[in-house]
Chain A
Amino acid sequence: MNFKHKFIFLFPGLFVLIGILIFPIIFTIRLSLSGWNSYTPEMNFIGITNYIRLFTDDPRFWESFFRLSFLSVTTVILQYVIGFSLALMVWREIKFKRFFRVIFLIPMMTTPVIMTVIWRTFFHESLGPVNDLLGNIGVKPILWLSDPVIAKFTVIIVEVWQWTPFMFLLLLAGLLSLPKEPFLAAAIDGASPFRKFVYVTFPLMAPISIGAIIIRLIEASKIMDTVFVLTSGGPGTATETSSFYIYIKGLREFQMGYAATLSFTYLVIMIISLTIIAKVLTKLMIKE
């Protein structure tokens, strides 16, 4: 194939993306070395002062980061288990198969922030249906949004509702693309459904599972919308995630320089940890 054609196909997209992104990235790095805040809104140069502050004097960022890790890992594991079970259940013939498939897909089509507005009324501590129904069977009102521990689980519930469908979609698409022969062989051997799953379905699905988990982890590491509307990081800082903390520093307190430091560090940690997770998962799930 002629040499120049391939570049004509590739370059428009590549350059538009680089063109839009190159400025923000360079700018963030430069900004992180400055003391830009609301008193001195200028690009001065203060060296690595911001980084020293982050690594020695900002426990709130690291707390928010561990909270984020906890929230995203928990939600992704739940999504994977539930999504995989659901996908297995509507994979083969069952009654109303297509109806259930549509229903299971719906939450991911809805805007997270808007659904969270509804979830807020849903979990309202005195006027919401959850506490009312639980009250009917004699459970005391649960402080869904104002108890520091329970609020985390409320966020997890909403995230699982919102994003299990994506996991379900990826895994069901994977199941539907599996070759038929291994299943026939297992059927001839008279394998039980459980053994069939452990020895045939799961190993075949391992690469797809890893892909789906990584994609979901990437998206879950950005948890922000839900928290923003549901609890605004509260009560206190109980549900504050890294993104939300950076948002507060940068766009509420206008410590732009320091927020850029946080952003850049956060991005680097994300890339490193996702690479490690991908490697570890591949090792764990694909034997041979």
Chain B
Amino acid sequence: MHKIYTFLKYTFITLWTVFIVAPFLWAISTSFKDFQSVNSKVTYIPWLDFEPTLEGWRVLVKSPARGGVDIVEPYFNSIFVTCTASLISIILGTLAAYALSRFTFKAGFVRNNDITFFFISQRIMPPIVLSIPFFIFLSTIGLLDSLLGLVVVYIVLLMPIAVWIMVDFFNRVPKELDETALIDGCNPYQAFYKVVLPNSIPGLIVAGMFCIIFGWIDFFFAFILTFTEVQLLPVKVVALNSSITPWWSLSASALISVAPLIIVAFVVERYLSKGNLSGALK
């Protein structure tokens, strides 16, 4: 009985791992192919099935004028927008989460939980519902097709995540901590800044990771709200997909676009295994 169970377990894990890794292996292999090895028949293993070339990777750094795919600028745009929006969301979200976790709010029928729910419920909003008004709103104030406009929109996407994770995190930081600090003569801001915040680093990192993930993987808003001046990475790669770009440079640019966030998987796992995520994600 026990043996069968173990066998099934490892079979399942192996199959799932293969399923997860398969598209990556395929993309890596494709990125080294040339016309012949993509279009004649399906090939898999370099040297054995086909002769690898570096062409797919070389075009990434060439300028468009010389037949390259200009991916460097979208790359930095994406990094800039994601990091700025995440940072602002984390700062505002953490402050709000602290207030919601420590103080009582009462206004009519509205209580703390209702305010927290208001923040988190913004995730329910389908992007398409917001995109049309945002389109008109940003063009009125002249921020359409600009990095700043995207940052503003991304704050709406990311702040709910920051509030969600930080409220739960602060609820687990003992109240006595701030109370002691207040008795010792700190004002509430000092208590927050000097005592609570340093004890919340794991929560902040987890919230930051999630903001970065959900900022980095967004496609729809970037697609609707930017055209030519500013391009983000996902939009750029999808644009390549619909043009005549050969599979090898498509695969190479896709791989290079998803690579940085894979590091995040390691960080998240570290915090998960240490048990820091458990409370934060409830």
Contact = CB atoms under 8 A, between A and B. Distances in A.
A172 B124 CA distance: 24
A263 interface: yes
Interface string B183-223: 00000110010000000000000000000010011011000
B21 A103 contact: yes
Contacts of A270: 124, 126
A128 B272 contact: no
A121 B30 contact: yes
Contact of B27 (A118, A219, A264, A266): A118
A46 to B, nearest CB: 17
Nearest to B121: A271
B12 A105 contact: no
Contacts of A13: 92-93, 95-96, 119, 159, 163
B63 to A, nearest CB: 22
B16 A86 contact: yes
Q: By DSSP majority rule, is chain A's interface helix, strand, loop, or mixed?
A: helix
Chain B: interface size category: 35 or more
B279 interface: yes
B65 interface: no
Contacts of B241: 117, 120, 229
B128 A247 contact: yes
A102 interface: yes
A264 B129 contact: yes
A259 interface: yes
B258 A28 contact: no
Contact of B95 (A12, A82, A169): A12
A267 interface: yes
B155 A251 contact: no
A66 interface: no
Contacts of A85: 12
Given A211-B282, A259-B132, A117 B99 contact: no
A256 interface: yes
Interface in B90-148: 92-93, 95-96, 98-100, 102-103, 105, 115, 119, 121-137
Given A17-B122, A24-B133, 8 more contacts: A9-B95, A10-B96, A10-B99, A24-B137, A101-B272, A111-B219, A263-B126, A266-B129
Interface of A: 1-2, 5-7, 9-10, 12-14, 16-17, 20-21, 23-25, 27-28, 31, 82, 85-86, 89-90, 94, 98, 100-115, 117-122, 127-129, 132, 161, 169-170, 172-174, 176-177, 193, 208, 211, 218-219, 221-222, 224-225, 228-229, 242-243, 246-247, 250-251, 256, 259-260, 263-264, 266-267, 270-271, 274
